[in-house]
Amino acid sequence: MGHEHKPVDIYPALLKAFNAGDIDAILACYEPQAHYVPKSGHVARGAAELREIFRATISYKPKLELDVRKITSAGDDLALVVVEWKTKIVSSSGEAKVSAGTATDIVRRQADGTWKIVLDVPYGVE
């Protein structure tokens, strides 16, 4: 049998892309019309708006850590994923800033069996 794809499979690729500062690879982890809801509550919709959000974030060269805590499936092609995350940014003056939260993500199985993020709410459990 072939490799069975799981909802959690998208997160190693997202982590690698984020820490490499590769915006195209980050966007490849999301569906083209995905939504991203930052702490401000202003929803970024679609690849162009997500690109702008991630371009601003990556400019600080953060290092991301992820820990998938729970996956709740809704049928064979949709799942809710709860992910604890932490980023560390070091300013040019050497000051470290750490941000953390618990995200709630909706991921969907694609036609090729892989999974992509449809809705990303980084502060979803607050």
Domain ranges of the chain: 7-121
Top CATH class of 7-121 equals: alpha beta
Q: Which residues of 87-101 are buried (b: 16+ CB within 10 A; e: fewer)?
A: beeeeeeeeeeeeeb
- Quote the pLDDT of residue 2: 43
Q: 27-82: per-residue pLDDT in tens? A: 999 999 999 999 888 999 999 999 999 998 898 889 999 999 999 999 999 999 99
Whole-structure pTM value: 0.91
pLDDT at 1: 37
Q: Regarding beta strands 115-121 and 30-36, do their DSSP bridges make them parallel or antiparallel, or are they unpaired?
A: parallel
User: Which pair of structure tokens corresponds to residue 106?
Assistant: 């909706």
Q: Is 10 exposed, middle or buried (0-12, 13-18, 19+ CB in 10 A)?
A: buried
- In terms of pLDDT, which residue wins out, 3 or 101? 101
Whole-number percent of the chain with pLDDT over 90: 79
pLDDT at position 87 is 95
Token code pair at residue 76: 């064979």
What are the phi and psi torsion angles at 74 (to 5°)?
A: -125, 80
